[in-house]
Amino acid sequence: MEASDTFIDGLMGQLPFDIGTDEFLQNPYRHYEEVRRSSGPVHRTPSGDVVVLGYPEAKAVLSDPRFGHGAQTAQDATGYGVPARTFLLTDPPGHTRQRERVRRAFTAREMLSLRRRIGETAAGLVAEAARSGTADVVAEVARPLSARVVAEVIGVPDDLRDRFAQAAALLVRGMDPPAVLAPATRERIARARVWLARDIGVALRRPAGTGILRALAQGPDGRAARAETVATCAQFVAAGYETTVGLIGNGTHALLRHPDQLAWLAATGPSEQACAAAVEELLRFDPPIQMAPRCALEDADIAGTPVPRGTVVAVLLGAANRDTRVFPDPHRLRLDRRPRHLAFGLGSHYCLGAALARLEATAALAHLLPRRPRPTGPPVSYSPSRVARSVQNLHVRLHPLDT
Note the pLDDT tens digit of each residue in 182-210: 788 888 888 887 877 777 777 766 655 55
Containing domain of residue 141, as a range? 5-397
Q: How many domains would you assign to the chain?
A: 1
For position 3, what pLDDT does the model report? 40
For position 238, what pLDDT does the model report? 67
Domain for residue 23, yes or no? yes
DSSP 139: I
For position 210, what pLDDT does the model report? 58
Domain for residue 403, yes or no? no
Please return the burial class of 402, using the count of CB atoms within 10 Å of its CB with bins 0-12, 13-18 and 19+: exposed
Domain for residue 402, yes or no? no
For position 2, what pLDDT does the model report? 43
For position 223, what pLDDT does the model report? 60
Domain for residue 346, yes or no? yes
| Cis omega (within 30 of 0) for bond into 92 | no
Q: Decide the pairing of beta strands 312-316 and 50-52.
A: parallel
Which ranges of the chain have pLDDT less than 70? 1-13, 85, 101, 104-107, 169, 172-180, 204-228, 238-239, 402-403
For position 175, what pLDDT does the model report? 62
Domain for residue 164, yes or no? yes
For position 85, what pLDDT does the model report? 66
Domain for residue 255, yes or no? yes
For position 286, what pLDDT does the model report? 97
For position 176, what pLDDT does the model report? 61
Chain centre to alpha carbon of residue 160: 24
Please return the burial class of 131, using the count of CB atoms within 10 Å of its CB with bins 0-12, 13-18 and 19+: exposed
Which of left, alpha, beta for 377 (phi over 0: left; psi -120 to 50: alpha)? left
Please return the burial class of 248, using the count of CB atoms within 10 Å of its CB with bins 0-12, 13-18 and 19+: buried
Whether the Cβ atoms of residue 154 and residue 237 lie closer than 8 Å to each other? yes
The CB density around residue 239, as the number of other CB atoms within 10 Å, is 22
The rounded distance, in Å, linking the Cα atoms of 40 and 37 is: 6
Domain for residue 291, yes or no? yes
Whether the Cβ atoms of residue 87 and residue 98 lie closer than 8 Å to each other? yes
The CATH number covering residue 355 comes to 1.10.630.10
Residues 353-380: b if buried by 16+ CB within 10 A, e if exposed: bbebbbbbbbbbbbbbbbbbbeeeeeeb
Give the residue among 358, 360, 364, 362 at the shortest CA–CA distance from 398: 364
The CB density around residue 238, as the number of other CB atoms within 10 Å, is 25
Q: Decide the pairing of beta strands 395-397 and 134-136.
A: antiparallel
Query: pTM here?
Result: 0.88
Cross-sheet strand order for the sheet of 312-316: 42-44, 50-52, 312-316, 291-296, 67-68
For position 6, what pLDDT does the model report? 53
